[in-house]
Chains A and B, each alone.
Chain A
């Protein structure tokens, strides 16, 4: 039974004053923990990706005791590692007119004006510090011959502000923060707990004071106490089963916090990435992303003739429809992700798709190779081309890539205030796991920026404010507290229930089924009827899951089926919330496209064959006309509203 909470207005605690000085003023006035006192505090950080790793390292450098947890065997494998393209920063090294304001504006506009603007402005201000920090750590960013940093362009921007390390930017940034983290492990200020999965949040007197997790090797249920909990556990795209996320990515840590009272905001804002390798067969375990940076030099097209079965090279230029360049001439192939994804879906749904399934479009590098030469193209994208070749057995230097959209990133997440604290005092949420910075759609190269800004430059300040003002030091708790015992017992009970379930269908089958429902009805295009159907189907599937799932193995052992079963159980609940949020949100924005609620302009754009205009695709529409006070208050209202409706009580 789903109950929608009464509408409550949450206080985002956005500092007063003009948007440009909010962060400085805030830093000047929040509470500090003195150096001598920092060592008295223990901070639990869950996750070791860009947000969690950078937070753990930075807090330890300040002198806090940090307990850092990850599900992987080592922090270096957190899924941030897979980010390919780059990281934005308002350095204006290219002298092309970039500024903090422009990065702020592009990010807010890219998010279809649903981001919390005060947070985004801060993010934009901090972006330059991130590049400095990473370069100092020895991250080998791409350079020009003279030794200065190189930039590339990304979707949704008309300046070149993306810093990169070949097609492995996420890996290199993660290794930067992983090495900083390991330095603190060596110094004894971070205790690392790998192969642990957080399964519950422990509250004492209404404040987050610890976690319960399962040791993934021994199966033991362990608990840890601290003075604050930081959640940096990433997004929930794997709810769709097939996504670009790692197979172990999940919502469990965030969802269990939600069930303890942390409100969820904008769960239906999910990003479907336009450039992924299309699905090859039912046995596929994940979809592989081809970096958006490829759209810098690749041209997207489909044949003008429906069902044209000729090999792509045999189709002459005049019989090709370079539809992004045609419909959105100002941005061309670099339109924001949601627009590119829906355009591809439209083309395929109307029969212009290519490949065996008809659900793919071409991304063609022939003109880039003619213009730049094969070597330059190899230098820019070599590893991506190799990856594509290895997977599809087709050589992208010779024949165009086939691409199709896939779930990639979730803008929604746990609601946080300006200090990144959730609705549970002491529980802070960083990176993709929170909801605040990307609104309804995230621009390329801004996820890495947000994760690192939160971890390196926001939480080290705002956590101190919480610790100093909440006086948690006065009542230290240990894992002997009854709240810990109760939580351990509840988690152990669920684990036993899953292992003991003697059903017939595997966890994998249930996850596949859930993914199909979500993709069909809560994917790129949504409508009321479909969403209602999804809700009822998910409810049914969830009931069947608890009756008929087959897990097997032992609970006190390395048991992958058991890990996945717990995650899928949570996805079944989250999936319903996703659909419910999408149903309730009677508008189209960013990644949330409701068929019934399109503006006349967007509709025209969706059907037009010749129009050069669109609500968001036309570069001339960019006008720096936001009024910070108006937008701050309006975004606060809309966000708290969505947070309130998104609370599900089971």
Chain B
């Protein structure tokens, strides 16, 4: 296969970027999009040009490091698929593929296709945990969790933190990411003690990071490589409403 790649090049956070065109030959259908970029980078290195910077690590769809807009879609056109899992057989021979970084105020560009997603870490640090020091846990079977509840919590916990939801949202909102974590803990008995505080603090931090609001486009669910449902957003809203009312009544 031969493909043409139209890719965003940007030297650093403060410089302006532009699209550049490259042709890559000898691509096999079973290669992933990232392996195609590897091949292009080999070509660029040999020609004394600077390779394209992009993040990737596990290359099996679980670490969440990779993520780019492929033909205008976060992680590309396949449903429930990360960029590293996206195979070239889904593109016609001779295709022109447009590749850009995730674009959101909360994710400033570092270089080329690499963005800074540390805002997600700060949101988790604001309350996306259960406060339990090492060594103070009761026996794991002391607290029973019905199978369907555990399964639902797992559905929400499957988030890989890639940020595709933010990139796909016209408002660059992070509510699917935040909602999934809040939902996971609100379902589990272990998450009850800090339930209200968690919702208030995580959402406050999300707003502080410059992510937009949700206006029900549901693009996030469509882009999510792990198929996280937008019902997590609805759950987040009820949690937030409840927590706000408790706060009004009792103070912080």
- A residues with CB within 8 A of B: 54, 57-58, 61, 72-77, 79, 81-82, 91, 93, 129, 131-149, 165-166, 168, 171-172, 175, 178-180, 182-183, 185-186, 192, 194, 217, 246-248, 280-281, 283-286, 288-289, 386-387, 390-393, 456-457, 460, 506, 508, 550, 552-553, 557-558, 560-561
Within 8 A of A (CB), among B16-60: 27-28, 30-32, 34-35, 38-39, 41-42, 45-46, 48, 50-51, 53, 55-60
B177 shortest CB reach to chain A, Å: 12
User: Contact check: which of A57, A137, A172, A286 meets B59 at CB < 8 Å?
Assistant: A286
Inter-chain contact B87/A391, CB cutoff 8 Å: yes
Inter-chain contact B53/A560, CB cutoff 8 Å: yes
User: Contact check: which of A131, A144, A179, A387 meets B130 at CB < 8 Å?
Assistant: A179
Inter-chain contact B50/A74, CB cutoff 8 Å: no
User: Contact check: which of A136, A140, A148, A387 meets B60 at CB < 8 Å?
Assistant: A387
B117 within 8 A of A: yes
A56 shortest CB reach to chain B, Å: 11
Q: What are the 6 closest A-B residue pairs judged by CB atoms, nearest first? A: A147-B144, A179-B129, A136-B137, A135-B140, A132-B137, A186-B125
Interchain CA distance A387-B58 in the complex, whole Å: 13
Given A506-B42, A552-B51, 10 other A-B contacts at CB below 8 A?
A133-B135, A136-B136, A139-B157, A142-B150, A142-B154, A172-B154, A178-B124, A182-B121, A185-B121, A561-B45
Contacts of A57 in B (CB 8 A): 134
Interchain CA distance A245-B209 in the complex, whole Å: 33
Inter-chain contact B185/A246, CB cutoff 8 Å: no
Contacts of A284 in B (CB 8 A): 31, 35
Interchain CA distance A182-B48 in the complex, whole Å: 41
Closest B residue by C-beta to A248: B57
User: Contact check: which of A172, A180, A552 meets B50 at CB < 8 Å?
Assistant: A552
A59 shortest CB reach to chain B, Å: 9
Interface pairs (7), CB distance under 8 Å:
A76-B121, A136-B130, A136-B138, A137-B190, A138-B130, A180-B132, A393-B30
Q: When A and B form their complex, what is the total count of cross-chain residue pairs whose Cβ atoms lie within 8 Å? A: 220
User: Contact check: which of B28, B130, B145 meets A147 at CB < 8 Å?
Assistant: B145
Closest B residue by C-beta to A58: B134
Inter-chain contact A179/B128, CB cutoff 8 Å: yes
Inter-chain contact B120/A74, CB cutoff 8 Å: yes
Contact count band on B: 35 or more
Interchain CA distance A149-B146 in the complex, whole Å: 10
A250 shortest CB reach to chain B, Å: 11
Interchain CA distance A460-B32 in the complex, whole Å: 42
Inter-chain contact B87/A247, CB cutoff 8 Å: no
Interchain CA distance A183-B125 in the complex, whole Å: 5
Inter-chain contact B184/A73, CB cutoff 8 Å: no
Inter-chain contact A82/B60, CB cutoff 8 Å: yes
Contacts of B136 in A (CB 8 A): 136
Closest B residue by C-beta to A195: B110
Identify the interface centre among B150, B161, B190: most chain A CB within 10 Å of its CB. B150
Contacts of B27 in A (CB 8 A): 283
What sequence of 0s and 1s flags, for each residue 71-106 of chain B, a beta carbon within 8 Å of any chain A beta carbon?
000000010110001010100000000000000000
B83 shortest CB reach to chain A, Å: 12
Interchain CA distance A530-B182 in the complex, whole Å: 56
Interchain CA distance A285-B185 in the complex, whole Å: 36
Inter-chain contact A288/B60, CB cutoff 8 Å: yes
A282 shortest CB reach to chain B, Å: 9
Closest B residue by C-beta to A89: B140
Closest A residue by C-beta to B160: A171
Identify the interface centre among A138, A171, A179, A217: most chain B CB within 10 Å of its CB. A138
